[in-house]
Amino acid sequence: MGKGGEKGEESGECKAQIPLYTWEEIQKHNLRTDKWLVIERKVYNVTQWAHRHPGGHRVISHCAGEDATDAFQAFHINPTLVQKFLKPLLIGELAPGEPSQDRDKNPQLVEDFRTLRKTAEDMNLFRASPLFFSLYLAHIIALEALAWLMVSYFGTGWITTLLLAFILATSQAQAGWLQHDFGHLSVFKKSSWNHLVHKFVIGHLKGASANWWNHRHFQHHAKPNIFKKDPDVNMLHVFVLGETQPVEYGKKKLKYLPYNHQHEYFFLIFPPLLIPVYFQIQIISTMIKRRFWADLAWAFSYYMRYFITYIPFYGVLGSLSLLTFVRFLESHWFVWVTQMNHIPMEIDSEKHKDWLSSQLAATCNIEQSFFNDWFTGHLNFQIEHHLFPTMPRHNFWKVKPLVKSLCAKYGVQYEEKPLGKAFVDIVGSLKKSGDLWLDAYLHK
């Protein structure tokens, strides 16, 4: 009895020694040199760990001073395994009187979303279909083979070359959607297998960098359409987006370009140049500066394969010209598909919304059809993808009714539109932001 009492006292003392923190204290630790975050009411100091984080230091830094439980669940396919990395970073817990969510987030909405996720797990919606992804990879390889066979059989005439370029651009676009699946760990149960095949698809099939993509894209998912956190809305002063940035630029009399015409010069700058110019420069410089040598080797294997295949037909300059034109075509495809879900939506500074609300504010869906699914790589289900980034895309349609029901319950807007309207809305949104800039520039 005495020993039991002593053990109980020791246990009580250990528990009492665990530091307890308030949200007010935790929110102070959101600096570059001082980062805390909360996962399931446990407080972690990730200041040093951030630079070793496989997804990049920025994505974890964006959650500093906040409850990161839903983001943690969203990005990791095996949270239990990842816990071993978190254990040494544990510094305390939320004080008993503190709510589990920060900044007055609706606790019932958050709880209901987590229940929805558990339901999706119970429905096996996070289990991938090997046949789906095998066939998807096969159709990309088939397009590559068709392109080579066509030029081998029909020669290098203008019509053949034009058709060849469109086939290769289609292959590149579809490989882009496929690398996206592996990058999000949504195919294999083991992260290591996803990472390996991701490097093959984005590196050998596309000539790009897996690490560059991971570090950039995960930030977008963690904080979509949030200035200074989502790199996809960092337009380098070329465009102004949303409703607040144009007014800020206008009041400050910033005029790097005539933004009231951005919906017109968009066609000349964004779709044609994003992949062949901006991304190419950024990818190569990132691989070299950050010493992503494995990624560089994979990318080199793509260019070796491409030039060995097409130099015999077109020569060096001809092959370079063909590749540039293929990138030009792919860039149009990529820009219209990726921007239709986000540019017309809310774009603003950090508002610290809950996971469901923040993702729905920044994303919209496009109506489902076989063509839309294929053409967009199932990014027509952008809402479901953003809520559950590790879910295999062929299951989005199954979880969609559950998401719509939850949104309806809490009055969260769930927006869905036809493909054509989505494209038109990109231009309309840019025009609206440009008009806001002009008004502020002239009158405020």
Q: How high is the pLDDT of residue 355?
A: 98
Hunting for tokens 């949270």 — which residue is that?
79
In this prediction, what percent of the chain has a pLDDT beyond 70?
Answer: 96
Q: How high is the pLDDT of residue 2?
A: 43
Q: Which DSSP helix (H) or strand (E) runs through 44? A: strand 42-45
Q: How high is the pLDDT of residue 17?
A: 82
β-partners of residue 93 are 20, 42
Q: How high is the pLDDT of residue 7?
A: 43
Q: Is the whole model's pTM more than 0.75, yes or no? A: yes
Contact of 297 with 136, CB cutoff 8 Å: no
Q: For residue 184, give every residue at least 6 positions away whose Cβ sits within 8 Å of its Cβ, in sequence order, or none.
A: 389, 390
How many other CB atoms are there within 10 angstroms of residue 436's CB atom?
A: 21
Q: Which DSSP helix (H) or strand (E) runs through 157? A: none
Q: For residue 351, give every residue at least 6 positions away whose Cβ sits within 8 Å of its Cβ, in sequence order, or none.
A: 226, 358
Q: Which DSSP helix (H) or strand (E) runs through 412? A: none
Backbone torsions φ then ψ of 45, nearest 5 degrees: -100, 105
Backbone torsions φ then ψ of 390, nearest 5 degrees: -95, 5
Regions in the chain scoring below 50 on pLDDT: 1-14
Q: For residue 357, give every residue at least 6 positions away whose Cβ sits within 8 Å of its Cβ, in sequence order, or none.
A: 109, 412
**Average model confidence (pLDDT) across the chain:** 95
CA distance 335 to 340: 8
How many residues in the chain? 444
CA distance 241 to 266: 12
For the chain, list the domains and their CATH numbers: 20-103 (3.10.120.10), 106-443 (no CATH)
Structure tokens at 10: 């020791």
8-26 pLDDT, tens digit each: 444 444 455 899 999 999 9
Sign, Cα dihedral of 415, 420, 423, 424? negative
CA distance 39 to 22: 14
95-121 residues labelled b (16+ CB within 10 A) or e (exposed):
eeebeebbeebeeebbebbeebbeebe
Angle of helix 210-222 versus helix 191-199 axis, rounded to 10? 120
Q: Reading across the β-sheet that carries 90-94, which strands appear in turn?
A: 20-21, 90-94, 42-45, 34-39, 30-31
Q: Which DSSP helix (H) or strand (E) runs through 347? A: none
Q: How high is the pLDDT of residue 16?
A: 52
Strands (DSSP E) contained in 246-309 are: none
Judged by DSSP in three states, 109 sits in helix
Task: Provide Rg for the chain, Cα atoms.
Answer: 24
In three state form, how does the secondary structure of 384-407 look? HHHHCCCCCHHHHHHHHHHHHHHH
Phi-psi region of 225 (alpha: psi -120 to 50; beta: other; left: phi over 0): left
Strands (DSSP E) contained in 46-181 are: 90-94
Structure tokens at 284: 């190569």
CA distance 386 to 389: 5
β-partners of residue 223 are none
